[in-house]
A = this chain, B = another copy of it.
Amino acid sequence: MTQAFGRVVVCGVGLIGGSFALGLKAAGMVREVVGIGRTRAALERAQALGVIDAISTDWAEALQGAELVLLAMPVGQMDTVMAAMAPHLKPGVLVTDAGSTKRDVVEVVYQRLREHLEYTVPAHPIAGAEKSGAEAARADLYRQRKVVLTPLAENKPDAIARVREAWAACGGDLAEMSPQEHDRVFAAVSHLPHLLAFGLVHEIAERANAEQLFNFAAGGFRDFTRIASSHPEMWRDICIANRHALLAELDTYLTELAWIRALLSKADGESLEKLFTDARDARDAWLAGRFNSEA
């Protein structure tokens, strides 16, 4: 039988932090959620919506009696926030985060929370939407979504188990990886597609005939670019934090595009059709849950 958390502190009560709060509440896994963050107005909206129960602007106060802290700000703020939080963290208080990159977060943990490594279990819930803010938060955002933990060698087994319980209470499907592996995988399947979508929309919006182009853009364009409506600051931080893995992915993709460009140039329809067929088959197999590299 898992035991509920008493006080949980959520730093950054947007879509991600707010959905964690609502998920724990829906599961009866928390007594009180305290929100803390940069913007008073955002905290007040979250409180008015019932996403958090109380507002704090002070780590010493927020951490009074807290059992669990979720850091759910853009990853660029991890250093500042951990530095502010660290002096007030009592031994045993669990810390997890929802950062979309993990190498950089783990580095900051080793710098700022070095007295607290036993209890700090980095995490990345693979859920999101093009909407941001506590208004978009939902108790079921993490239901059947992967939540990747990148535990530290120093973590107490009990701390990992309790952090798993919190994410599992929100409905998450837990996995574990090293921070390095995490960042390489998500550079490929998440960070690069975001960069490509932002780039395409930006490039079209800058043109003299942008209005005509958008006027004839249809459902394919809408879905392809959905992720270009994502949170700019969050994605700035992800791209900067994971830029080495992301540059490697971008270069691999540029090589693919150079090859496709050559096929187009010489009007090699047969090779293009094979490429398209292989891509369609792989995607359809993935959606059907039966992709197999050996196939």
Contact = CB atoms under 8 A, between A and B. Distances in A.
B264 A221 contact: no
A112 to B, nearest CB: 20
B202 A217 contact: no
User: For chain A, which range describes its interface: under 10, 10 to 19, 20 to 34, or 35 or more residues?
Assistant: 35 or more
A2 interface: no
Given A280-B232, A283-B229, A198 B275 contact: yes
Interface string A95-112: 000000000000000000
Given A189-B204, A199-B257, A228 B280 contact: yes
A269 interface: yes
Interface in A240-293: 240, 243, 246-247, 250-254, 256-257, 260-261, 264-265, 267, 269, 272-273, 275-280, 282-284, 286-287, 291-293
A193 interface: yes
B210 A148 contact: no
A203 B253 contact: yes
A214 B128 contact: no
A148 B216 contact: yes
Given A202-B279, A216-B146, A260-B199, A190 B221 contact: yes
A212 interface: yes
State the number of copies, please.
2
Contacts of A233: 273
A286 B189 contact: no
Given A220-B227, A267-B243, A273-B232, A291 B252 contact: no
Contact of A189 (B216, B260, B273): B216
A269 to B, nearest CB: 5
A140 interface: no
B280 A186 contact: no
The listed residue with most B CB atoms (<10 A of its CB), out of A129, A227, A286, is A286
A127 interface: yes
The 10 A-B residue pairs whose C-beta atoms are closest, nearest first, are: A205-B282, A232-B276, A236-B273, A201-B279, A189-B217, A202-B279, A203-B256, A232-B277, A214-B286, A193-B224
